[in-house]
Amino acid sequence: MGAGLLDSKVVVISGVGPGLGRGLALQCAKAGADLVLAARNEERLDEVATEVEKLGRRTATVPTDIRDAAACEGLAGAALETFGRVDGLVNNAFATPPLTDLTKVDLDAVRAGFETNVLAALRLTRLFVPALEESRGSVVMINSAVLRHSRRTFGAYKMAKAALLAMAQNLSTELGPRGIRVNTIAPGYIWAPNLKWYFHHLAEKRGVTAQQVYDENAATTDLRRLPEPDEVADAAVFMLSPLARAVTGQCLDVNSGEWHH
């Protein structure tokens, strides 16, 4: 669907795994981009790179712990050394904060969540600003529908993601005069391997089928289904592409209509 939207572009994606990270890589490749893929798991990087290369696009895989400043500098250097330019950065890496009431949560664990989910994304973005300014490029932050509710035990999660959204909005204001757009994608549940495992786990605990758990959650959405990774990734492709050339500082929800914003 997005064929040609990212022709001749180079996109860096952090947090590449079997779910959304893979979807982002494949949809960007289908849109014509060459990719720099980053994650801690080298085996997963290689698997996704193989799929991307089968689509006819070039890849560079850079094992990276985004909490490590030197590793992030190495990622930025490798991207420019390999391709000579960077047109897009997708901050997808994420660590789940403790799912505990705020009145009880361990504050050190909350700080650790902020380190990965907010500060590491800021560090990585700052490293790519010179290259993105030269290409008049774009940054996409992957956020979450947790922004739209205040359910118990999700407080630390929402705090981190709200901070990530605020950071993206302020970066948009700072970087806009330099020709760099900064936007956010906020998915709800994504029907990917981790969620499939979780629904199966819930089904076993309740003595029902995984399909029943899926149907119950899908019933809370307008479309009566959960988004697939490629559908969330397509929103990121749009934000990276010239179609969104006047869009910055925005948050696009991709949740099949579970929440309206």
197 in the same domain as 106: no
Confidence of residue 231 (pLDDT cuts 50, 70, 90): very high
127 in the same domain as 218: no
* Average predicted confidence (pLDDT) for the chain: 96
Give the pLDDT confidence score for residue 261 in this predicted structure: 85
> Active-site positions?
157
Please determine, for residue 90, whether its predicted confidence score (pLDDT) is greater than 90: yes
Identify the domain containing residue 207 by its residue range.
191-226
H or E stretch covering 142:
strand 138-142
209 in the same domain as 125: no
Q: Are 171 and 125 in contact (CB under 8 A)?
A: yes
Q: Which residues contact 213 (CB under 8 A, 6 or more apart)?
A: 199, 202, 203, 206
Which one-letter DSSP state was computed for residue 57? -
Q: Tell me the three state secondary structure of residue 35.
A: strand
Please determine, for residue 2, whether its predicted confidence score (pLDDT) is greater than 90: no
Residue 1 counted as domain residue? no
Residue 260 counted as domain residue? no
Residue 168 one-letter amino acid: A
**For 20-64, what is each residue's pLDDT tens digit?**
999 999 999 999 999 999 999 999 999 999 999 999 999 999 999
Give the pLDDT confidence score for residue 3 in this predicted structure: 75
